[in-house]
Amino acid sequence: MLRFFSKFKYLAITLLILSAIIITLFYNALKPKEVLPVYQPSMVRAELVDSTIQYVKKYHTIADFKLVNQNGDTITQDDYSNKIYVADFFFTTCPTICPIMTDNMTGIQKAVAPYDDVMLLSHSVTPEIDSVPQLKKYALEKGVNDEKWNLVTGDKKQIYRLARKSYLAVLNDGDGGPYDMIHTENFILVDKKKRIRGFYDGTDGEDMEKLLHDIEVLRGEG
């Protein structure tokens, strides 16, 4: 009896391995592919969205833009064409959440360094303070890779419109004027079709892990 089992031992092991492979292949074939939501203005907190688009339920994309980065270069939507990117809003003199957000964005920059199709974009909400030299100083202090990450300044009205009508990410403080804004901790994930695919707390480590995971999901979409 023992001789009988020893004779077929290797066959049994081979069958077990093949069974495990087949089960794994079936599981992967049947497992639904992870897909990120496509965010529309109607899906976002109303106070973060311009009132003119609060009820839009489809076809929302990031509007064209023309801003200036830390090197004095003009940055437009063409620089992000066919790219996945992470956007946020900040200002260089912010003493509260901005340093944490920037440190986390630096971590994202490092993680996506090998990916030519992933970039970062940070908009100043105080463009009158954040001149090109100020942004350059900040970029050098924070280890910004100019090829991967643009810190942009420009016309405040344009930045306000982008924040409220495109990225759905800042509050209107209603205080100092029609274009005054309070930035949030939000990081916004944008796909290659200029659609919003996720919002993340830029001060939270777990959310940063989720953001990196979701970037991989988008890269898998092709």
**In this predicted structure, what is the pLDDT of residue 21?**
63
**In this predicted structure, what is the pLDDT of residue 11?**
55
Please count the structural domains in the chain.
2
**In this predicted structure, what is the pLDDT of residue 28?**
47
d(CA 21, CA 97): 48
pLDDT in tens, 37-81: 999 999 999 999 999 999 999 999 999 999 999 999 999 999 999
List the chain residues with pLDDT less than 70: 1-31, 173-179, 222
d(CA 45, CA 168): 9
Co-location of 55 and 22 in the same domain = no
Q: Are 161 and 144 in contact (CB under 8 A)?
A: no
Co-location of 91 and 137 in the same domain = yes
Co-location of 107 and 207 in the same domain = yes
* Residue 159: exposure state from Cβ atoms within 10 A (0-12, 13-18, ≥19): buried
d(CA 87, CA 106): 13
Domain span at 27 = 1-31
| 13 located within any domain | yes
| 36 located within any domain | no
